[in-house]
Every structure is written in C-alpha cells, then in structure tokens.
Copies of this chain bind each other. A is one copy, B any other.
C-alpha cells in the first residue's frame, strides 16, 4: 500500500514545498500585504480526538477496512481552501467511521451490500483532491454511519489494445501510475489536470475533470470509451464503442455523476500517441481584452491548439512571466503525426491581427515586433516557467493558509458575447467582497484554462489577507459572493472542478433546470434505492451549506 495522504495539505506525508519555495512565497505575500500574522502550527493527527466508529465491518470485509484515526482523518476532507484552513484550525467536523480499500469490483459490491444492510452512507474517495467538498463525509443526520470507500488499491492498467489506441484502466489508478503503465506502449492519456499527481482516473471521470487540451478534448468525457460501475442495484458495463446513436449515451450520465449513481471501478479510455512534433510560442497583448478577442478568433479558426492559455496581466505577473501590464498567451500545438509549424504560424498571424507580439516558437510569426523563434524544441521559457509554477501551486497553500492568507480559485465558462461584462462584474464583485470582509484590498487574477468557439473558460485566482482566526469566515463570504457572481451572471458554477457539496445551493441548484434535477434524482433512486452513495452531492439534502459554515 502506498504512503498515507497528508490530512492538512497537498500530497503524501513527507511531501511539501521546499524551504526556498516557502521563503519566497512568504516574502512576496508579506510584501504585498504589509506583513503576515504569526502562523498556526502544522496540525498533528494526535491533536484530533475522533469519536469511536459507529459501525464495525464483518469479518469477511475487515481485512479491507481501517478504523484507525489517522486513516479516518486522511479521508475527512478534500483539498479546498476551507479544507486546509479547517485542518490548521483543528476543526474537522466530519470524518468517516471507517475507511475501506476494495481491491476488486466484487469487493466494492460486497461493501455496498454491507453498507446497505446497515443503512450506512458511502462516500467514494479517489485521490481526495476535490476542491468542493466532494469527498467530505458530510452526509447529514439521516445516516447511522459513514464509510469512505478508497479506490486506491484498484490501480492497475488491466489491458492495452494498441489497434484501438485504448486501455482498460482501474478507477483508483493515479495519473502517474497509469501513465507509467502506458508509456512502454508509446501511449498516453494526455490528460493533466493540476491534480494529476494525486487524482485517480475514476475521480477524473465522475467529476468531468479538465485536462491538458485547451480545445476539442477539454474534459475527460471525450476520452471515456466505456465504463464499469458498481451500483447498489447491480453492475453496469457499457459497450466498447467508438460512437453510437442508441439512446442518450450512458457514459455521459456517469461523467459528472460524482459518485451518486455508483462506484466507477474501471474504464476503457481513448489514448493518444506520444507527441513528436511540437510548436509553441507566447504572445503578449496590451491588456486582457485584446488578448481575449484574439483568442476568440483563434478558437473559431479550426486550428485547435493543444495549449491556448491566456493569462491576464496579474496572473502573468504572479507567475513570474509578465510585467503587470501585458496579458500573455501561451500557445502550443502538438502532434504525433505531422509538423505543427504552419499551424502555429497561422495562429500567430491571427494574434498579430489582434496586435499581439509573439516570442519564441517555431512558426513564422509576423506580429509587430515579433521575434523569430528559437526553433528546434518548439519550447518557450515563459511557457515552461508557467507550467512549472502551475504544478507546484497545490503545495503553496500550506505555506500561506497558516498566516491567515486566503488564496482560492474558482473557474467557470460563459459565452464570448457575455464575457466582457461578465468578467468586469466578477472581478469588481470579488474585489468588493474581499474589501467588505477583510477590510483590505486583495487581488483577483484570471486566465483562460480552456477555450471554445462559443466562449472561454475563465479561471480566477484570488488572494486576500485575513487572520488565522477569521480566515474561514471571510473565505465563506467571498466564496458565496463568487458563486453568486458567476451563476447569477449567467456562467456555470464549475467548468471542471465539480459540484460536490460546496457548489450546491447558491450555484448548481440554481443553474440546472428543476425538471432535470428531478430526472437526475429519479435516476439515482433507480440505481441507489437506499440513497447510500455520496448523499448531499449534486442533489438531495446536505449537512452544512458550505464547508466553512458554522455547525
């Protein structure tokens, strides 16, 4: 069995930011906010006094289960800001009575049968990287007990079919695990959410994770060829088909189901060949709006860049790749089959028509002041710096949270026609919410994580200086403001983070049509008549309203 997850931050026990990273972060943040309050100490498992488990597994399942406090604590929360803040504040209000690690789909079925008999709720747990309360055992008062079902022992790549470029991957396999198994065949899922190191395939599927590709294959949905799912009513195995028109696509009901319909145990996934040809460049724009307009033109061009991340001036600055005035577009093409230089060149032409200045890249930029690329590798220093920062980011919160700094993200999507006004309202509204709650100015930055011909997926990051004592309360106000601004403004409460429990009343419940919610609820009842599975997620009653709510 692999190492235990940290219950108070990103990664496994023993992992964390380097001393240098922590020092830089504290210095920069302190400089921005005029000093930082004394930090809270790192929490220790022994400081938490958990209530005795309310149920015991039968002997036949005991070998798959643990009632150890450290295991229960490690399955008490996900990786949202509120989760880490609550860990540092020694407030962990919900934890499972038991953690179970099934090793086969049969184990899952037996565990569900047993939970059903006792009326226990079952909360599926993949990599535990939910940032919206998706894995928190906050199931309300109707359940005598709750079991966290950890899929991490089901982590094999069971079969590879090179002719179809597909593989059957178990749901508990983490990104690096399945990629390592696919590599010898020259294949890759090429789906790299920021949570890639920890997140599991099953978790990615049921949360409609957003990955590497900025266009076309934005969510994991498109890569799901078929799924195996265990429901309390029985098993579902959908056919391996490249496409079908037979009724509503079953896999599409599983994608985004967040564990309420069944436990995905494995999936046949459509893979990519490892790219050989790459072409990339960065393009600077005088502000976010002209950058967004160029990206809109790019998105409808049919060039379909793999990478098309537009950073606003603040985001570029924060990531060490900007001057605070220019927006930066990180643009990349890739292929296992043919050179991408001509596509990059045409993309840079489109950017130049929008007054973008290109740097790097292997194409033939004609933008004003554009420098010719360094050629060869098709890589770009600014893009690399951004990517490096992106992957280390999950570690940074544990440095800032104990100082009472609020650092959070939220992501959405809206149409191009709505975007300019939407963006002004969201950024102004968040600045106002930060001032109102913390009494001080904060920061909000934006990038496009994915783009579509009909609209962008803006990803917002916010920073605010609170205090260790009040940060959770302040976060809650800001989070509610964000849900309201995004959903009230016509966007979606989440483009790829999921709904979980935190995006419910003020977000998802308002966004989805009521009759659709009734259909989804009915479908859940059919598959899970006892309502065992992840109660409070997506539909039905939940315990608190937000993770930070007073209990």
Most chain B Cβ neighbours within 10 Å, of A246, A456, A511: A246
Q: Which stretch from A333-341, A373-381, A393-401 is at the chain B interface? A: A333-341
> Interface residues of A, CB < 8 Å — how many?
97
Q: Which residues of B contact A258 (CB under 8 A)?
A: 247
B208→A245 contact, CB < 8 A? yes
Asked if A28 CB lies within 8 Å of chain B CBs, one says no
Asked if A416 CB lies within 8 Å of chain B CBs, one says yes
B301→A338 contact, CB < 8 A? yes
Contact with B along A487-521 (1 / 0, CB 8 A): 00011111111110001000110011111101111
The 3 closest A-B pairs by CB, nearest first: A242-B455, A242-B452, A522-B526
Using a CB-CB cutoff of 8 Å, which residues 515-539 of chain A contact chain B?
515-516, 518-527, 538
Q: Which residues of B contact A221 (CB under 8 A)?
A: 249
Contact with B along A39-77 (1 / 0, CB 8 A): 000000000000000000000000000000000000000
A245→B492 contact, CB < 8 A? yes
Asked if A413 CB lies within 8 Å of chain B CBs, one says yes
Q: Which residues of B contact A262 (CB under 8 A)?
A: 515
Asked if A163 CB lies within 8 Å of chain B CBs, one says yes
Using a CB-CB cutoff of 8 Å, which residues 341-388 of chain A contact chain B?
342, 346
Q: Pull 30 A–B residue pairs with CB atoms less than 8 Å apart, ordered by A.
A: A163-B417, A164-B417, A164-B453, A165-B300, A165-B454, A242-B452, A242-B454, A243-B455, A243-B457, A244-B413, A244-B492, A244-B495, A245-B256, A245-B498, A246-B498, A246-B503, A246-B511, A246-B512, A248-B520, A249-B255, A249-B256, A273-B300, A301-B337, A302-B336, A302-B338, A303-B337, A515-B526, A519-B523, A519-B526, A522-B523
Task: Please report the C-alpha to C-alpha distance between residue A239 and residue B342 in the assembled complex, in whole angstroms.
Answer: 36
B337→A241 contact, CB < 8 A? no
Q: Which stretch from A100-108, A230-238, A469-477 is at the chain B interface? A: A230-238
Asked if A219 CB lies within 8 Å of chain B CBs, one says yes
Asked if A252 CB lies within 8 Å of chain B CBs, one says yes
A8: min CB distance to chain B, Å: 26
Known: A247-B258, A253-B248, A337-B301. A456 touches B516 (CB 8 A): no
Which A residues are within 8 Å of any B CB, using their own CB? 161, 163-166, 207-210, 216, 218-219, 221, 225, 231, 233-250, 252-258, 261-262, 270, 273, 296, 300-303, 335-338, 342, 346, 413-417, 450, 452-457, 490-499, 503, 507-508, 511-516, 518-527, 538
B244→A248 contact, CB < 8 A? no
B164→A416 contact, CB < 8 A? yes
Known: A166-B454, A273-B300, A520-B523. A247 touches B515 (CB 8 A): no
A271: min CB distance to chain B, Å: 9
Task: Please report the C-alpha to C-alpha distance between residue A473 and residue B49 in the assembled complex, in whole angstroms.
Answer: 75
Task: Please report the C-alpha to C-alpha distance between residue A453 and residue B296 in the assembled complex, in whole angstroms.
Answer: 28
Task: Please report the C-alpha to C-alpha distance between residue A262 and residue B515 in the assembled complex, in whole angstroms.
Answer: 10
Task: Please report the C-alpha to C-alpha distance between residue A413 and residue B526 in the assembled complex, in whole angstroms.
Answer: 29
A346: min CB distance to chain B, Å: 5
A250: min CB distance to chain B, Å: 5
A513→B248 contact, CB < 8 A? no
Known: A231-B515, A233-B515. A247 touches B520 (CB 8 A): yes
